[in-house]
Amino acid sequence: MKLSSILLLPALLRSGLAYTELSDDTLRTLPRPGPDFDIKNGALLAPILRTRVPGTPGSEAVLDHFIDFFTAELPRWRITFQNSSQVTPVSNGKAVPFKNLIATRDPPWAKNEGDVGRLALVAHYDSKLTPEGFIGATDSAAPCAMLMHAARSIDAALTSKWDAIAAEGVESIDGLDEDAHKGVQILLLDGEEAFHFWTHDDSLYGARSLAEEWEGTMNAAMSTYKTPLHSIDLFVLLDLLGAKQPRIPSYFKTTHWAYKRMASAEHRLRKASLLKSDGKSFFPEAQKGEKDQWLGGYVEDDHVPFMARGVEVLHVIPNPFPSVWHKIEDDGEHLDIPTCEDWAVITTAFAAEWLDLEGHFETKQTKRSIHEDNETWAGEKTELFD
Ligand SMILES: *[C@@H]1O[C@H](CO)[C@@H](O)[C@H](O)[C@H]1NC(C)=O
Ligand SMILES: *[C@@H]1O[C@H](CO)[C@@H](O)[C@H](O)[C@H]1NC(C)=O
Ligand SMILES: [Zn+2]
């Protein structure tokens, strides 16, 4: 038996994981999307701002945009798809294709996928069939772009962290602590929207198919996690983001710890004047207690089929919804770009802290150290300078 007993007590011991906050120096180095979030020609956002109803050329073009992005900029991420075809109330009995894109980055020593616990960052990329021409900028083009930005912003730091662990000599993978077995996954899901009228059968096409398939896909025997579904330590769903002054409730008691982490990241970024949106915190419920009202279950979204199977969920969706919700006005022009950029940075900081990346970003401090003391740093940090 090769697995250490520590690995057999995984996700429940969440609090046992190291959770180092990013220093202010590190927060200052986190990139903002800047021109990449331009709605007309921004490299990340603009290609998503078009109609992308499942099974249409718009949907294919947006999926190609994601594939091109990961292929060109994040070659260390493994891209896979989970496809299905399902009949909808308006497809006249014909099956419509739904394609979920999964981009995964696991520690290099993870020979068995089933031993990696992951942070899943999730948004849906399809757009609603009606009203005709509906873009769904907050729903959820902008959240997809935010996740692309976050993935790109943590990539080099992940490499640096794993190189540093490897440099210490990974004689026995089993001896590594639990943090060394954490990975990250971006899920860009298809078919969230109803075609006709929201019901359990007419909505969440991609998410339902993925959750079901993953629940039935067994990892290797003796894996820490039974299935890819169990490998999700935390499912963070971004939806309806990009309008001014969002107010995100904490929906679920069991993930209030994660809500507080995200609120804290936002608070520290705001205090350091690193956010551009005016106004109040996006997370007004950080102080909430047991006896307060929890809206869990109130908003149906892509998390539902996962949560029904026991996955822990942080739902980052405002209440109330943006005023443009499901209206033709939910387009690029109605986005508040400073808010979109802030979300991208907050998501980056949250992911970086979950993955314990403090010390692995290229800050001004480390740059200077490398310059003055090349020998000490060169061995550990070479990846940053590739
Ligand atoms: C799923 O869809 C993607 C994107 O179109 C395609 O590249 C892939 O081959 C499909 N996978 C299967 C198993 O059909
Ligand atoms: C560090 O020194 C090596 C040679 O020892 C050199 O090749 C490398 O470019 C230097 N790196 C930096 C960042 O100055
Ligand atoms: Zn919607």
Domain of residue 301: give its range.
Answer: 2-385
CB of 83 closer than 6 angstroms to any ligand 1 atom: yes
Active site residues: 192, 239
* Neighbour tally for 210: CB within 10 Å: 26
Nearest Cα to 246, choosing from 266, 219, 226, 271?
266
The bound ligand whose nearest atom lies closest to the alpha carbon of 380 is: 2
Q: Of ligand 2's atoms, which has the minimum distance to the CA of residue 371? A: 14
Largest Cα span, the chain? 69
Tokens of 231: 């490998």
Q: How many CB atoms lie within 10 A of CB 302?
A: 29
Q: Which two tokens stand for residue 285?
A: 């419920």
Of the given ranges (65-69, 111-115, 224-228), which has the lowest mean pLDDT?
111-115
pLDDT digits (tens, 9 = 90+) for 60-91: 999 999 999 999 999 999 999 999 999 999 99
Contact present, 344 and 242 (Cβ < 8 Å)? no
> Cα(161) to centroid of ligand 3, in Å?
37
For ligand 3, a single-atom ion, the residues with CB < 5 A are 139
Other beta carbons within 10 angstroms of residue 357's beta carbon come to: 21
* Nearest partner of 6 among 173, 228, 233, 203, judged by Cα: 173
Residue 50: CATH number of its domain = 3.40.630.10
pLDDT at residue 379 above 70?
no
Pocket test for ligand 1, best of 70, 82, 99 (most atoms within 8 A of CB): 99
Residue 242 has pLDDT above 60, yes or no: yes
Mean pLDDT lowest for which of 1-5, 100-104, 189-193, 255-259? 1-5
> 106 with 116: CB under 8 angstroms?
yes
Least confident range of 232-246, 282-296, 340-354: 282-296
d(CA 219, CA 228) in angstroms, rounded, equals: 7
Closest CA to 99 of 187, 229, 40, 226: 187
What are the strands of the beta sheet with 313-316, ordered from one edge? 78-87, 95-105, 182-189, 117-124, 232-238, 313-316
Q: Which atom of ligand 1 sits closest to the CA of residue 83?
A: 1
Q: How many residues does the chain have?
A: 386
Mean of all residue pLDDT scores within the chain: 89
Residue 378's pLDDT is what? 45
Copy the structure tokens of residue 48: 């998503």
Q: How far apart are CA 169 and CA 304, in angstroms?
A: 42
Q: In the block, which residue shows the tokens 């038996």?
A: 1
Burial of 373 (0-12, 13-18, 19+ CB in 10 A): exposed
Ligand 2 midpoint to CA 154 (Å): 24
Q: Is the dihedral of CA 42, 48, 51, 57 positive or negative?
A: positive
Main-chain phi, psi angles of 184, to 5 degrees = -140, 150
Domain count, the chain: 1
Q: Is 3 exposed, middle or buried (0-12, 13-18, 19+ CB in 10 A)?
A: middle
